[in-house]
Amino acid sequence: MEKENKTLATMQSEVDDYIQQFKAGYFSPLTLLARLTEEVGELAREVNHNYGEKTKKISEPAKEVAEELTDVLITTIIMANALEIDLTQAFETNMAKFRQRDHFRFERKDGMTEETKKGEEK
C-alpha cells in the first residue's frame, strides 16, 4: 500500500476534525504558544542528545528527532487552525519572500551571483 502525500490543507483539516471532537476545542493563542515552545524544547533536547555533546541519561526514554519534530508540526497546525491561518497560503507568501530576499544570500551551487545575474539582464 502506497502512502498518501498529504497537503498542508489536508493536514489542517485532519487536525481540525480531531480537535472538534472535544468540548474544549482550541486553546487560547497564549496557551498554544506555550505548548509550541514546550515542543520545540523537547526537539532541541533530542537534537542535542543525537547530534550534540550531551548524551542521554540511562533512565531517559529513547525518542526520535522525527517524533519531536512532528510534535512541533502538529502543534503549529493546531495554532494555525485556532488563529484561522491558511498554512498553504502563508507558506507560499513566505517562500516568495525567501526567494526574493535570500536569492544570493548564500553561495549558490550554479555559481551565479548578484553581479553575474545583473550582467545577464543587460
Q: Report the alpha-carbon distance of residue 32 to residue 64 in Å, rounded.
A: 23
Q: Give residue 84's region: left, alpha or beta (phi > 0; psi -120 to 50).
A: left
Q: What is the pLDDT of residue 96?
A: 94
8 A C-beta contact, residue 47 and residue 65: yes
Please report, for the chain, the start and end positions of each structural domain, with discontinuous segments joined by +: 8-85, 88-122
Q: Phi and psi (nearest 5°) for 74?
A: -65, -40
Location of C-alpha cell 500500500: 1
pLDDT greater than 70 at residue 87:
yes
Query: Which tens digits make up the pLDDT trace of 14-44?
Result: 999 999 999 999 999 999 999 999 999 999 9
Query: Which tens digits make up the pLDDT trace of 105-115?
Result: 787 788 877 77
Domain 8-85 = CATH 1.20.1050.10: no
